[in-house]
Amino acid sequence: MSPKLIFDVHLDLSWNAIEFNRDQRWTQERIRRRELGMTDFPGRSRNTVCFPEMRRGRVGLCVATQLARYVPYFGRLPGFASPEQAWAETQGQLAWYREMEACGEMVQIRNRAQLDAHLKLWLTDSTENRAKPPIGYILSLEGADSIVSFKHLEKSYADGLRAIGPVHYGPGVYGHGTDDEGPLTSRGHELLKEMERLGIILDATHLCDESFWDAMGRVQGRVWASHSNCRALANWNRQFDDNQIKELIRRDAVIGMSMDAIMMVHGWAHLRSKPQDFNLKLEKICEHIDHICQLAGNSRHVGIGTDLDGGYGTEQTPLDVDSIADLAKLGDLLAARGCQAEDIDGIFSGNFVRFLRTAWA
* pLDDT at residue number 8: 98
Secondary structure letter of residue 148 according to DSSP: -
- The pLDDT assigned to 132 comes to 86
DSSP code for 346:
I
DSSP secondary structure code for residue 173 in this structure = S
Residue 48 carries which side chain, given as an amino acid letter?
Answer: T
Q: pLDDT for 101-155, tens place per residue? A: 999 999 999 999 999 999 999 998 655 546 689 999 999 999 999 999 999 999 9
Return d(Cα 261, Cα 234) in angstroms, integer.
9
Class of domain 7-359: alpha beta
44 HSE (CA, 13 A, CB side): 13
Instruction: Residue 231: name the closest of 211, 215, 208, 201 by CA.
Output: 208
Hey, is 61 helix, strand or coil?
strand
Neighbours of 41 (CB within 10 A): 13
Query: What is the Cα–Cα distance from 326 to 53, expressed in whole angstroms?
Result: 9
208 within 8 A of 177, measured Cβ to Cβ: yes
Q: Is 59:6 a contact under the CB 8 Å cutoff?
A: yes
Q: Which residues of 321-358 are buried (b: 16+ CB within 10 A; e: fewer)?
A: bebbbbbbbbbebbeeeebeeebbbbbbbbbbbebbee
Q: How high is the pLDDT of residue 130?
A: 62
pLDDT in tens, 156-171: 999 999 999 999 999 9
Q: How many C-beta atoms lie closer than 10 Å to residue 146's C-beta?
A: 26
Residues sharing a CB contact under 8 Å with residue 285, sequence separation 6 or more, in sequence order:
229, 257, 259, 264, 318, 330
Phi, psi (deg, nearest 5) at residue 162: -125, -5
What is the pLDDT at residue 124?
A: 85
pLDDT in tens, 175-191: 999 999 999 999 999 99
Low-confidence ranges of the chain (pLDDT < 50): 129
Q: What pLDDT sits at residue 1? A: 80
Long-range contacts of 20-29 (CB under 8 A, 24+ apart): 22/47, 22/50, 24/49, 24/50, 24/51, 24/100, 24/105, 25/50, 25/51, 25/52, 25/103, 25/105, 26/50, 26/52, 27/52, 27/53, 28/52, 28/53, 28/323
